[in-house]
A = this chain, B = another copy of it.
């Protein structure tokens, strides 16, 4: 496995790989890798002749009061993790390498999709995501790029950007990987106290109850959401940021679903200072 830290070296590697006709799969990450990322790598390995994992804690997607400095990092551990999974290249540039000493002036904005849910509390967050993802696509020119279904809003925004700008890459969504008790894997789980960790599976349980109600034919979405929100808010350690039902295309709130409409139940809940997200698509 090769570790590359400069854009120039990464481009040189890609040029050789492309000339040899090898297909490239990219797994963009912010590091502190867990088996959720592992599932993305496995899928990329299966689909492509070369797998590149980028590890970059992207300052553009953190707000001024957010946890950029506090975000967990473990590059040596991440490199071992990638190596054990047969990754060909880890691309781990510095912030200066990515954005220059004076910072980048360019931002990519996807209207509508990023303005609520996880974007409501963090204006500019998804602009930062879209911008860094486009830059990685330009540097690495992958045939395919892999994103977890857990961050479904991010996935929708990246898909829309790729379509709108005709970026030549296939976006592959991979199912959320979970702990045995159903908690979605996340680097942020490392922040949880043992007590919070014990309560965390209730987020998924709320989504499963919504799915079950939906399967029984219930369609009074506001009432369904209100009931589950009340249940979550009854737990003193929880602070619900959002619990909502949106259409899976434009991510707009759905109150009275059309027959056959596919929707996403999604939530973000604070446990202390740690904000966890999860979602469930229902057809």
Binding site for B on A (CB under 8 A): 7, 11, 99-100, 104-113, 130-131, 134-135, 138-139, 141, 160-161, 163-168
Q: A202: shortest Cβ distance to chain B, in Å?
A: 34
| Chain B residues, CB < 8 A from A100 | 163-164
**Cα-based distance from A221 to B21 in the complex (angstroms):** 56
> Are A11 and B168 in touch, CB under 8 angstroms?
yes
Q: A4: shortest Cβ distance to chain B, in Å?
A: 14
Q: A7: shortest Cβ distance to chain B, in Å?
A: 6
Which listed residue (B104, B138, B139, B161) contacts A106, Cβ 8 A?
A: B161
| Chain B residues, CB < 8 A from A113 | 105
**Cα-based distance from A104 to B110 in the complex (angstroms):** 9
> Are B141 and A106 in touch, CB under 8 angstroms?
no
> Are A165 and B109 in touch, CB under 8 angstroms?
no
> Are A164 and B106 in touch, CB under 8 angstroms?
yes
The chain B residue with its CB closest to the CB of A105 is B111
**12 pairs across A/B with beta carbons < 8 Å?**
A7-B166, A99-B164, A105-B160, A106-B110, A106-B111, A106-B130, A107-B111, A108-B109, A135-B164, A138-B165, A138-B166, A141-B168
| Chain B residues, CB < 8 A from A111 | 105-107
**Cα-based distance from A11 to B168 in the complex (angstroms):** 9
| Chain B residues, CB < 8 A from A108 | 106-109, 165
| Chain B residues, CB < 8 A from A130 | 106
